[in-house]
């Protein structure tokens, strides 16, 4: 028996219900419009006829670029009848996302809504060749022909084979539609769905939901989300009415409730839990799930189902709505299982099990649970796989798939009493203190608390567990209850107001009720959860932001969190009504992306002016920040009120709350190339030597050579100390008391361990080092006696070692937190420190004096550490605005920028052979950039997951290593970008790989430091008791002495291995490991977490063989004996330390989260 096609289901319903309303469109403002089944079929047939005239038959896909419209079902059925699969393109998506879909699907034809024609042409006319085929007035559509650059470059033979292949697939397996996955773990996958895969879903759900011709079904999902297919054809195959509303109305809870349940008597609603939560408890009880609600069935899908107690709290007594839990993935479109919640469970006073099962498999669907070894299990926890003989979709470039293929869902479930319970996404299962935490399960537990309306839980990059909570109606509404306070991680006791304001003044510090609420929530959670599952920070927000698919927009929450941290001190003083109105106009237009010259009318409505829920939350956030105080009910006014309503609301709040300007200095956002100096000078003006020597011009620098010093003990000598250099540097070299013998270095000399460090080549003249005792703001300098303590290393102490001390030489104010690590450019006349800040600033500082040489304000925050090009004339740095900037080292002028697809936190790495600069991006790619030619040589997609860490290049074998948050270490050919091998892991890599001659080393968030051969084999694994974000520092025991740099290194007689691996962990320790076998040499416990990377350097000037500089997040800088791990000196800075220290000579440079860059001096006592 031939399987039915989707449009055939509609024809069957039309024959039985031809004069009945098939589709209704309600804008919430004007009267609704509708079409009968006969009218839909007639319009669909007409459209099919036009397509058969203008579209060649072998084209199996046709794009559909449209907004919600009453004609939508006719458009879809018309395409299916052609026959072709429809490919929805979202007008609200970024053009590059749609372009990728067009190219991946080889779309040659697309139907555009007439009013969107100009938008499509302006977005794609420079990228695609567009030709208008015909305008269909009665359908309000325009058919265009598309030809991409990619298509024009394909040989004719390839075109013929591609067309034949498309035709074969279409004939053997008729496709219904083509979508893409959400892409949360990398680039979205293209999913091609055959009719026979989706039709069983429709027919089965029609039976489960007991559909009749009297039902009204809301199209709640966008066309790009596959539940929309179920909603459309569930209604149209049953003779029911499909209700369509504008996307703006879906984001306005009160208006949507009115449209659904009063104007149209909706009976079936399929939606994500987040979308339903947006109604709020009052609307849910009084309208959606009231005693007389017309809604007979509410089906949750796309996210974990709310708990039984939460569902019960939403229902008014006497409500008879049936509730179902749907589960599925786009890769096996659409739903895989269904569970109908028994009415008795929703009415019971004694709910024993809060969690709702996934239910029984749908028709023709097979569900299996496998453990980590791939074995099927009947009890316990494992990953869910789904598939079946008929449930087979094609992913990306797949041409055929074996029937019965089982797809891994990436979802972890628990099998208990023959039922499956959702635990969370595989990437949402984390380990803290060696204990597993299910973020999705934690989210549901928090949602069950009495005062909580909704919740989202996420893990920040600093390994902090964050909870974003929406309180129930009547509770105070605000954006946040705490602003990254100084508190012990995982502390679950109630914080005091003093705790909340240690570092940052919380914008809710004036709200005692919120502090009480947070305390109550924490106390309750401490009774329910182990300490490792308690959120570190709780943020109270007015509503959860949604993605276009109605799911929680976690990325947006994290951006809001970051924005609050940045903007907490930028409140605006509003004096009168006019200043309030003008400020709100500016914010209104900024959030809507409107030009400055556009007037905002008093009756303008934010959502009807093109705004969406994310923009409304952003506007609410901006106003809250500007006011400096929370505003109860502001979000509701933005969603449902006019501009004048918002102004009135804010004026009322302004009158009730005195707005004080921030005491902190306002940042200079002029964007001028060179900004005023803001560093604290710790030197007397009489003794400070003013630098008048300019930078060496690039051509001269290439001849003379220079040294670059970076984190992890990386000292790079670019052709340094040639013939011309010997003369120019001789004076500087003689200042140490004995002239140094200098060797020239080949282009392959990339010095990455202290055996080659040239720290003392440019020792400063003592005459310019006579500093007055510095004024140190609030930090404590400590000199430690040489004695054993619980925190010290396990090695034996040396009695002949002098005591060491640390003091602050200078500090420079960057304006915001400094998480980037410094890079030093050591030249013949000056050593320059380059470091970026979250204030968008990149500073170039004189290492000796701390003077600001130049400063640039770039497009967004800087977390990436800078790098110096091989020619020495450029400094490169990645930015949150997705760009990599190449600036002139002498003045900061922009020489070139390269734009990636997402935020750049990865630090560039320079190829000593070719001069190429390799860097990663959160778009999942690694790029090889030629800064001189200003071009990208190649790019490599890492298969999913952002590239947070920095690449590492090794000369022999010549290989490039890069790691991803998707849990993969990639080995590439640095000349071509070709993938040589991949080392897979089940957890993300934040740590950057580092190499020795025989191995590559990397740390993992599961607490392991791993040694891997250059062929990709695991050599050893060393386990710590906390996640590792620190990168290994690889060191050797063959050092140049301070008195002589020669070609003959002094061989160590130590018993340590040829290479040691020094790395920090979030368990508070730094570990020194034998690089050959992974055995522990020593460990040292700090007083905080070790996020940054240690720096191993020559200790001879202080009477030691090696020293290690490291930082802990509680603000302490530590100096250890590199051989024994014993403590030699420490100093406390007034802020958290996530930056890695860099050492040159006697100086240590590091960035701090109190906005300053510090230069410390290591001295003998």
pLDDT in the model for residue 44: 97
pLDDT in the model for residue 458: 87
Residue at 196 is within a domain: no
606 and 495 together in one domain: no
613 and 525 together in one domain: no
Instruction: Report whether pLDDT(632) > 80.
Output: no
pLDDT in the model for residue 829: 84
Instruction: Report whether pLDDT(799) > 70.
Output: no
The two three-digit tokens of residue 774, written as one number: 């510095």
| pLDDT per position as a tens digit, 262-282 | 999 999 999 999 889 888 888
Domain end call among 567, 593, 621: 567
* 87 band by pLDDT with thresholds 50, 70 and 90: very high
Q: Percent of the chain at pLDDT above 70?
A: 76
Over range 136-165, report the average pLDDT: 65
| Dihedral sign for Cα atoms in the order 480, 486, 488, 492 | negative
The two three-digit tokens of residue 277, written as one number: 């939560």
1038 and 1140 together in one domain: yes
| Cα(751)–Cα(748) distance, integer angstroms | 9
Instruction: Report whether pLDDT(371) > 70.
Output: yes
Residue at 340 is within a domain: no
1129 and 984 together in one domain: yes
Longest CA–CA span in the chain (Å) reads 102
- Give Cα 669 to chain centroid, integer Å: 26
556 and 634 together in one domain: no
Instruction: Report whether pLDDT(1063) > 90.
Output: yes
Q: Which residue has the higher pLDDT, 800 or 93?
A: 93
Q: Percent of the chain at pLDDT above 90?
A: 46
848 and 972 together in one domain: yes
List CB contacts of 699: < 8 A, sequence separation 6 or more.
Answer: none
552 and 581 together in one domain: no
Residue at 280 is within a domain: no
pLDDT in the model for residue 628: 61
Q: Which residue has the higher pLDDT, 492 or 180?
A: 180
Lowest mean pLDDT among 372-386, 576-590, 925-939, 997-1011: 576-590
Domain end call among 542, 567, 592: 567
| pLDDT per position as a tens digit, 357-368 | 999 999 889 999
Domain end call among 567, 594, 628: 567
User: Residue written as tokens 């034809």?
Assistant: 109
* Cβ neighbours around 836 below 10 Å, total: 31
Nearest to 415 by CA among 366, 368, 361: 368
pLDDT, mean over the chain: 79
pLDDT in the model for residue 474: 53
The two three-digit tokens of residue 167, written as one number: 């035709």
1093 and 1145 together in one domain: yes
Under DSSP, is residue 402 helix (H, G, I), strand (E, B) or coil? Answer: coil
| Cα(1056)–Cα(649) distance, integer angstroms | 69
pLDDT in the model for residue 4: 87
715 and 740 together in one domain: yes
Instruction: Please give, one letter per residue, the 3-state secondary structure of 186-218.
Output: CCCCEEEEEHHHHHHHHHHHHHHCCCCCCCEEE
Over range 1071-1085, report the average pLDDT: 94
pLDDT in the model for residue 167: 42
Q: At what angle do helices 6-16 and 37-54 cross, to 10 degrees?
A: 140
pLDDT in the model for residue 116: 94
| pLDDT per position as a tens digit, 800-818 | 444 799 999 999 999 999 9
Nearest to 337 by CA among 422, 432, 271, 397: 422
- Domain CATH for 541: 3.30.300.30
965 and 1016 together in one domain: yes
* Cβ neighbours around 986 below 10 Å, total: 11
| Cα(1008)–Cα(551) distance, integer angstroms | 33
* Cβ neighbours around 673 below 10 Å, total: 13
* 461 band by pLDDT with thresholds 50, 70 and 90: low
Q: Which residue has the higher pLDDT, 470 or 297?
A: 297
The two three-digit tokens of residue 1031, written as one number: 């990168």
Residue at 268 is within a domain: no
| pLDDT per position as a tens digit, 873-905 | 999 999 999 999 999 999 999 999 999 998 899
| Cα(44)–Cα(73) distance, integer angstroms | 8
- Domain CATH for 592: 1.10.1200.10
The two three-digit tokens of residue 1065, written as one number: 């962990």
541 and 591 together in one domain: no
Instruction: Report whether pLDDT(389) > 50.
Output: yes
Domain that holds residue 529: 433-567
| Cα(1055)–Cα(999) distance, integer angstroms | 20
Among 550-554, 592-596, 1123-1127, name the most confident range: 1123-1127
Instruction: Report whether pLDDT(39) > 90.
Output: yes
pLDDT in the model for residue 654: 65
554 and 591 together in one domain: no
* 717 band by pLDDT with thresholds 50, 70 and 90: confident
| pLDDT per position as a tens digit, 518-570 | 878 888 887 787 767 888 778 888 888 877 777 788 888 888 777 665 554 44
The two three-digit tokens of residue 786, written as one number: 């040489």
* Overall number of domains in the chain: 3
């Amino acid at each position: 028996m031939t399987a039915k096609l989707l449009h055939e289901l509609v024809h069957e319903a039309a024959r039985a219900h031809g004069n009945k309303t098939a589709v209704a469109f309600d804008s919430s403002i004007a009267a609704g419009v509708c079409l009968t089944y006969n009218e839909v079929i007639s319009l669909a047939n007409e459209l099919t006829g036009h397509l058969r005239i203008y579209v060649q038959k072998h084209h199996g896909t046709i794009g559909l670029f449209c907004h919600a419209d009453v004609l939508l079902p006719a458009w879809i059925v018309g395409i299916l009848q052609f026959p072709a699969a429809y490919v929805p393109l979202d007008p609200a998506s970024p053009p590059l996302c749609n372009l990728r879909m067009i190219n991946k699907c080889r779309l040659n034809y697309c139907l555009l809504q007439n009013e969107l024609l100009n938008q499509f042409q302006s977005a794609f006319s420079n990228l695609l060749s567009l030709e208008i085929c015909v305008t269909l007035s009665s359908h309000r559509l325009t058919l265009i022909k598309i030809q991409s650059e990619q298509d024009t470059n394909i040989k004719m033979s390839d075109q013929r084979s591609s067309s034949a292949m498309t035709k074969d697939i279409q004939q053997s397996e008729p496709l219904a539609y083509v979508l893409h996955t959400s892409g949360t773990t990398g680039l979205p996958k293209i999913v091609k769905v055959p009719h026979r895969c989706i039709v069983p879903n429709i027919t089965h759900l029609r039976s489960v939901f007991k559909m009749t011709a009297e039902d009204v079904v809301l199209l709640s999902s966008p066309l790009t989300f596959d539940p929309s297919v179920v909603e459309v054809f569930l209604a149209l195959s049953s003779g029911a009415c499909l209700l369509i509303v504008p996307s703006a109305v879906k984001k306005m809870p009160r208006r949507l409730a009115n449209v659904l349940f009063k104007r149209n008597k909706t009976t079936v609603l399929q939606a994500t839990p987040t979308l339903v939560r947006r109604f709020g408890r009052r609307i849910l009880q009084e309208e959606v799930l009231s005693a007389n609600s017309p809604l007979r069935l509410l089906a949750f899908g796309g996210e974990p189902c709310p708990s039984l107690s939460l569902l019960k709290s939403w229902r008014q007594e006497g409500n008879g709505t049936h509730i179902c839990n749907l589960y599925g993935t786009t890769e096996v479109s659409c739903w895989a299982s269904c569970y109908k919640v028994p009415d008795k469970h929703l009415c019971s006073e004694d709910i024993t099990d809060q969690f709702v099962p996934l239910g029984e498999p749908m028709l023709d669907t097979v569900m299996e649970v496998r453990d980590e070894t791939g074995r099927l299990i009947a009890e316990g926890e494992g990953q869910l796989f789904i598939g079946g003989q008929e449930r087979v979709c094609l992913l990306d470039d797949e041409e055929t798939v074996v029937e019965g293929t089982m797809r891994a869902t990436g979802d972890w479930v628990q099998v208990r009493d023959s039922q499956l319970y959702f635990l969370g996404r595989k990437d949402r299962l984390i380990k803290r203190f060696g204990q597993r935490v299910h973020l999705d399960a934690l989210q549901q537990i928090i949602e069950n608390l009495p005062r909580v309306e909704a919740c989202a839980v996420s893990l920040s990059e600093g390994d902090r567990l964050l909870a974003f909570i929406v309180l129930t109606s009547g509770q105070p509404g605000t954006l946040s209850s705490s602003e990254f306070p100084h508190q012990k991680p995982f502390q679950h006791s109630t914080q005091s107001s003093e705790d909340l304001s240690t570092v940052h003044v919380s914008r809710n510090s004036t709200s005692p009720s919120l502090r009480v609420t947070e305390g109550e929530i924490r106390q309750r959670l401490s009774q329910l959860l182990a300490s490792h599952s308690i959120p570190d920070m709780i943020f109270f927000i007015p509503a959860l932001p949604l993605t276009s698919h109605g799911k929680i927009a976690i990325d947006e929450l994290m951006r809001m969190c970051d924005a609050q941290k940045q903007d907490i001190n930028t409140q605006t003083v509003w004096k009168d009504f006019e200043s309030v109105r003008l400020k709100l106009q500016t914010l209104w237009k900024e959030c809507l992306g409107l030009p400055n010259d556009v007037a905002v009318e008093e009756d303008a409505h934010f959502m009807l002016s093109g705004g969406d829920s994310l923009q409304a939350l952003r506007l609410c956030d901006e106003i809250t920040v500007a006011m400096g105080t929370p505003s109860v009910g502001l979000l509701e006014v933005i969603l449902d009120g006019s501009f004048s309503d918002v102004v009135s609301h804010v004026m009322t709040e302004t009158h009730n709350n005195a707005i004080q300007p921030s005491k902190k200095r306002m940042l200079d956002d002029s964007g001028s190339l060179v900004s005023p100096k803001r560093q604290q000078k710790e030197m007397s003006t009489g003794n400070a030597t003013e630098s008048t020597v300019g930078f060496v011009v690039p051509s001269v620098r290439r001849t003379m050579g220079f040294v670059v010093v970076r984190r992890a003990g990386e000292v790079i000598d670019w052709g340094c100390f040639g013939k011309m250099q010997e003369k120019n540097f001789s004076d500087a070299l003689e200042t140490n008391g004995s002239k140094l013998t200098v060797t020239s270095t080949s282009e392959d000399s990339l010095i990455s361990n202290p055996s080659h460090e040239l720290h003392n080549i440019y020792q400063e003249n003592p005459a310019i080092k006579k500093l007055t005792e510095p004024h140190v703001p609030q930090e404590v300098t400590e000199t430690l006696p040489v004695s054993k303590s619980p925190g010290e290393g396990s090695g034996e102490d040396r009695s002949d070692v002098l005591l060491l001390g640390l003091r602050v030489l200078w500090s420079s104010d960057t304006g915001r937190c400094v998480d980037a690590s410094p890079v030093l450019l050591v030249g013949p006349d000056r050593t320059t420190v380059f470091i970026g800040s979250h204030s968008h600033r990149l500073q170039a500082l004189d290492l000796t004096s701390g003077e600001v040489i130049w400063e640039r304000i770039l497009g967004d925050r800087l977390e990436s550490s800078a790098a110096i090009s091989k020619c020495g004339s450029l400094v490169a740095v990645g930015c949150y605005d997705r760009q990599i900037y190449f600036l002139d080292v002498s003045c900061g002028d922009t020489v070139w920028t390269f734009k990636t697809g997402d935020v750049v936190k990865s630090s560039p790495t320079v190829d000593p052979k070719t001069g190429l600069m390799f860097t990663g991006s959160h778009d999942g790619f690694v790029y090889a950039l030629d800064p001189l030619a200003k071009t990208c040589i190649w790019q490599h997609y890492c298969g999913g997951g952002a590239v947070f860490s920095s690449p590492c290049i090794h000369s022999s074998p010549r290989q490039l290593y890069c790691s991803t948050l998707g849990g993969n270490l990639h080995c590439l050919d640095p000349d071509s970008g070709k993938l040589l091998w991949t080392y897979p892991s089940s957890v993300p890599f934040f740590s950057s790989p580092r190499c020795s001659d025989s191995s590559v080393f990397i740390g993992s968030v599961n607490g392991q430091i791993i040694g891997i051969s250059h062929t990709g084999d695991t050599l050893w694994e060393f386990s710590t008791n906390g996640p590792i974000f620190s990168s290994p520092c690889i060191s050797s025991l063959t050092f140049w002495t301070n008195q002589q740099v020669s070609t003959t290194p002094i061989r160590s007689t130590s018993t340590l291995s040829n290479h040691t691996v020094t790395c920090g962990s979030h368990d508070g320790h730094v570990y020194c490991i034998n690089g050959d076998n992974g055995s522990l040499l020593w460990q040292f416990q700090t007083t905080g977490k070790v996020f940054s990377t240690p720096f191993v350097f020559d200790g001879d000037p202080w009477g030691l063989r090696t020293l290690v500089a490291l930082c802990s997040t509680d603000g302490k800088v530590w100096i250890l004996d590199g051989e024994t791990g014993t403590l030699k000196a420490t100093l406390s800075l007034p802020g958290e330390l996530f930056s890695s220290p860099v050492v040159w000579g006697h100086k240590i440079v590091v960035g701090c989260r109190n906005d300053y860059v510090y230069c410390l001096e290591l001295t003998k006592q």
